[in-house]
Every structure is written in structure tokens, then in C-alpha cells.
């Protein structure tokens, strides 16, 4: 009897690292629940692309992870699509500068809800299905969870909390569910309001032993390793940063 096709929910999967991870896992035979917040056109294009490769293998689900109610709904919808869930990748993230003297309660709510609250309650909502499948969770951390980035106190605190949650969950959810994290370094430079100038980019690369940016596939491969190929690994945070965390 053939094994059922594994199913993964990836948050923030419409673009950048989330989309690369979705394509990589799809290539490895997973069905995809592609979460997006506002990038409906990109999510639709990705879904059409993947379903063109393998029919009825991907769906899209919209939710604003800053909203507790929509986060709960996302968990329910993700499990209901194929009646199972084998993996949860908490990839979506809010990232922008907010110096302490300027940070507002809205900044706190947006960043903490998206980066920390949503992963927790998504994990809670998906837990029965993940336990049944003996599945795994991968949280997207950041090297700044350990060595904070100036003028990003809320972002750094949220990622430090997510790193701690990863290790706590690895103890609490064992033995049925494995929980690990991936901590990217310089892979894709930030966009929009969070963009950094070329001189600062070069200063980052100067502190990176491999002296270059990584590729999105480096992150996608690390997530796939932790989901698919590491049955005896839990509670670990894998730095995929060219060695930058040695020299930050």
C-alpha cells in the first residue's frame, strides 16, 4: 500500500524564501498549503505553477497572522484540505526598524503577533494533526535572535522568543512531533522600508567567513533536511549564514 502524500503548511509562502521552500518541498513530493497575507497574485501564480507540475498538489489560504482569529482559522483550514498535516513551516515574518524611542503599541502588536504569537497558536491548532502523523515543525529564526541588530528591538526580541519556543516545544511535544529551527544569515537582502544600503551590505559580507550571500535554496534545503531527513534531530537551530554568526 502506497504511503499517503505528506502535507505541509508554509506561512508567508507567496514570495522570497517561503516560495523557494514551497517549490523545494513540492519537488520532494509534498502537498502544499501556501499561506499568504496580501500577495494574492503571487500566491496564485505559485499555486498554478505547482499544480501544473502535479495536479491538486497545492492550495492557497489567506490570513493576516497579526490577527489571532485569522491565525486560528488558518490552522483549521490547513488541516482540513487533505485531512492531514505532516509539517508546519513558520516562515512569515514582520521585519522593519523601530528604535525604542519611536516604537508604538501597534509596532509591538504587529511584530510580536506575526513573529511569535502566530507560530505558537498555529502550532497549537495544528498539533493534533501533527501528532497523528508524527510530523515536524520548522521555525524560521534569525541570527539576530542571539546578536541583536541595532534599532530592531522588537524584531530581535520576537525572534529570540521564537528560538526559545523552538527548544521548549522540542521537549514538550516529543516524542510525536519534532521541532527545529533554521537561522538564516545574508540570503536575500531586505526590501521596502527595511532595505539596507550597499555599504552596509558589504560590511555584513566582510564579517561573513564565506564572503558572499547565500542562495534561497540553501534555506529551502535546510528546511527540507529538518522535515524529511532528520528523524533523530529535534530542538536544534541550524545556522545557515556562511559562518557570520561566528563573527557578528
Encode pLDDT of 56-69 as tens digits: 999 999 999 989 89
Q: Is 36 a catalytic residue?
A: no
The third-level CATH classification (topology) of the domain covering 7-239 is Rossmann fold (3.40.50)
| Cis bond upstream, residue 130 (ω within 30) | no
pLDDT, mean over the chain: 92
- Domain boundaries, given as residue ranges, for the chain: 7-239
C-alpha to C-alpha distances, 136 to 1, 81, 175, 229, 234, nearest whole angstrom: 23, 18, 11, 11, 9
> Is pLDDT of 73 > 90?
yes
In this predicted structure, what is the pLDDT of residue 43? 98
- pTM, two decimals, is 0.92
Choice between 110 and 199, residue whose per-residue pLDDT is larger: 110
> Is pLDDT of 1 > 60?
no
> Is pLDDT of 203 > 90?
no
Catalytic residue among 96, 144, 155, 200: 155
- Rounded Cα distance between 74 and 80, Å, is 10
Measured N-to-C along each axis, helices 118-133 and 68-82 cross at an angle, to the nearest 10 degrees, of 20
Rounded to whole angstroms, the maximal C-alpha distance in the chain is 61
* Closest C-alpha to 162, from 65, 31, 17: 65
Q: How confident is the model at residue 39 (pLDDT cuts 50, 70, 90)?
A: very high
User: Half-sphere exposure of 40 toward its Cβ, with a 13 Å CA cutoff?
Assistant: 3
In this predicted structure, what is the pLDDT of residue 27? 98
The four Cα atoms 99, 114, 234, 34 give a dihedral, to 10 degrees, of -140
Amino acid at each position: 500500500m502506497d504511503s499517503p502524500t505528506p502535507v505541509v503548511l508554509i506561512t508567508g509562502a507567496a514570495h522570497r524564501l517561503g516560495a523557494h521552500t514551497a517549490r523545494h518541498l513540492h519537488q520532494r513530493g509534498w502537498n502544499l498549503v501556501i499561506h499568504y497575507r496580501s500577495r494574492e497574485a503571487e500566491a496564485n501564480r505559485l499555486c498554478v505553477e505547482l499544480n501544473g507540475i502535479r495536479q491538486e498538489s497545492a492550495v492557497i489560504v489567506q490570513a493576516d497572522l497579526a490577527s489571532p482569529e485569522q491565525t486560528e482559522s488558518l490552522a483549521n483550514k490547513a488541516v482540513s484540505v487533505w485531512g492531514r498535516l505532516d509539517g508546519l513551516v513558520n516562515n512569515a515574518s514582520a521585519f522593519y526598524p523601530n528604535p525604542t524611542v519611536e516604537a508604538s503599541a501597534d509596532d509591538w502588536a504587529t511584530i510580536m503577533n506575526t513573529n511569535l504569537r502566530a507560530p505558537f497558536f498555529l502550532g497549537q491548532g495544528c498539533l493534533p494533526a501533527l501528532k497523528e502523523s508524527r510530523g515536524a515543525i520548522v521555525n524560521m529564526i534569525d541570527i539576530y535572535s542571539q546578536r541583536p541588530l541595532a534599532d530592531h528591538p522588537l524584531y530581535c526580541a520576537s525572534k529570540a522568543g521564537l528560538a526559545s519556543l523552538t527548544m521548549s516545544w522540542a521537549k514538550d511535544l516529543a516524542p510525536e512531533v519534532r521541532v527545529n529551527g533554521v537561522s538564516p544569515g545574508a540570503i536575500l537582502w531586505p526590501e521596502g522600508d527595511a532595505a539596507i544600503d550597499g555599504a552596509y551590505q558589504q560590511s555584513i559580507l566582510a564579517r561573513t567567513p564565506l564572503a558572499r550571500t547565500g542562495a534561497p535554496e540553501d534555506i529551502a534545503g535546510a528546511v527540507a533536511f529538518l522535515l524529511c531527513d532528520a528523524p533523530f534531530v529535534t530542538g536544534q537551530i541550524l545556522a545557515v549564514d556562511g559562518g557570520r554568526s561566528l563573527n557578528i
